[in-house]
């Protein structure tokens, strides 16, 4: 982990092309107020919210279990269509 010391209104820049600029806006007691400036396509989340998002996303996933794929495929198979023999006219 990189540890940097910054004073109020000082900045930290992360990246080159898709850079994120972090500005220390205010320090009061044990609270630091940061401003983040980044391209809209760069997701920025607080760590505790990111954990909630990730757990919600995995909550809908199917639990790992043995699935009988062959048996399922056989159940889903449609019986092949059988053509009826054509009637022939007898003269």
Mean pLDDT (the chain, rounded):
79
Percentage, residues of the chain above pLDDT 70: 64
Supply the pLDDT for residue 78: 57
pLDDT tens for residues 30-71?
899 999 999 888 888 888 888 888 877 776 555 556 777 666
| Least confident window among 63-67, 72-76, 80-84 | 80-84
Pair type for strands 11-14 and 31-37: unpaired
DSSP state of 42: S
List 23's β-bridge partners, or say none: 11, 35
Counting DSSP H helices and E strands in the chain, the numbers are 2, 3
Structure tokens at 25: 């806006």
């Amino acid at each position: 982990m990189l540890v940097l010391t910054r004073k109020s209104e000082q900045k930290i820049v992360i990246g080159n092309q898709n850079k994120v600029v972090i500005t220390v806006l205010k320090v009061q007691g044990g609270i630091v107020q940061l401003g983040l400036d980044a391209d809209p396509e760069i997701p920025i989340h607080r760590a505790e919210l990111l954990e909630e998002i990730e757990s919600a996303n995995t909550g809908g996933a199917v639990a790992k279990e043995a699935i009988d794929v062959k048996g399922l495929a056989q159940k889903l198979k449609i019986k092949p269509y059988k053509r009826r023999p054509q009637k022939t006219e007898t003269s």
